[in-house]
Amino acid sequence: MTKIIWENLYNDLPVHVAEALRTARLQPEQVIAKTDGELMAIEGIKEEDVNSIRTIYNTDNIEQVKEVLAKATVEEKEVAQTEKVKKVIKPRTRSKKYSMMAKGLDRENTHEIKEAVEILSRLAKSSKLKTVELTINTREAGVRGEIKLPHSTGKELRIAIFGPEVEAKINSGSLDFDMLLATPADMPKLARFAKVLGPKGIMPNPRNGTITDNPEKRAKDLAAGGTLPYKTESKSPIIHLALGPITQNEQDLIDNVNETLRAIGSTRIKSAFLSCTHTPSVRLNLSSI
């Protein structure tokens, strides 16, 4: 019999994306077969993460993907030996394009937000995927909240308000929304759907503001695009946020980054990095927040 060594899969993806796919126990060919919506339904996978996945795991690369799976599959009698090999951490290799972008970039030096955005704008010209990503290392886990940004992130959020029509959709498995809002009075009806909505991260919860006495007003505020919920990852004190495309107004992007760091608070932040999809990250100077 064979066994998959999951830690050997998805090492070519961002850490939080790899962990999400491994936890879901999805093999590479299953990842390719899933729709974007099904991928985003996996806990820990965001819309911008789908782009990273599709760049590598697509039908054009099916043979390479099969080879990756084959290398991560071993006979059970080899598992013990494989466990020993896993302890040896191999250095991560980067593509030539990434290496070229990183050339001349001082990774230890910190940059003002405006300068960091300008650097990313230059680097992103050679990349098709240009989502701006803010990665924050916090001093502790369990940091969560919501930020009211001065400008929209450009992300369209599909919001549903619980009612008979939405209840029928849940029953039929048609979850065509990214966020579900409900009133406290709705929760007894929603309780039976917890096993369906919970794993997908869309079960209404008072901690993220999805249980409210006025879901219509809440939906309107969220649809405006300037409200950004955040939280640290379940297993590490890291916050990943997508702030929209690098092609958006530069000053709007700078304002959004500033407000995000200010709202989370300098006392909670150990370090912060700005990057675009598949570009090197630029370390931010936090002295001014």
**pLDDT tens figures, 57-80:** 888 778 777 877 887 776 544 545
Half-sphere exposure of 119 (CA within 13 A, CB side): 24
pLDDT higher than 90, residue 183: yes
55 and 123 co-located in one domain: no
State the chain's mean pLDDT as an integer. Answer: 81
What pLDDT does 89 receive?
45
Q: Which domain range does residue 170 map to? A: 159-223
Task: Tell me: do 25 and 119 sit in the same domain.
Answer: no
In this structure, are 66 and 184 located in the same domain? no
* Domain identity same for 138 and 28: no
pLDDT tens, position by position, 200-242: 778 998 877 789 999 998 888 777 666 788 888 877 899 988 8
Give the C-alpha separation, 264 to 28, whole Å: 36
Average pLDDT over residues 114-119: 89
The model carries a pTM of: 0.54
Same domain, 61 and 181: no
For residues 170 and 201, which has the higher predicted lDDT (pLDDT)?
A: 170
Query: Vertex 37, ends 31 and 40: CA angle to 5°?
Result: 75
| C-alpha span between 17 and 6 (Å, rounded) | 13
The confidence band for 109, taking pLDDT boundaries of 50, 70 and 90, is confident
Question: 284 and 274 in contact (C-beta within 8 Å)?
Answer: yes
Q: Is 35 found in the same domain as 134?
A: no
Residue 40 predicted with pLDDT over 60: yes
Residues 6+ away with beta carbon under 8 Å from 89? none
96 pLDDT more than 70: no
Residues 230 and 141 in one domain: yes
In this structure, the answer to whether residues 150 and 262 fall within a common structural domain is yes
The verdict on 37 and 120 lying in the same domain is no
Count how many domains the chain has.
3
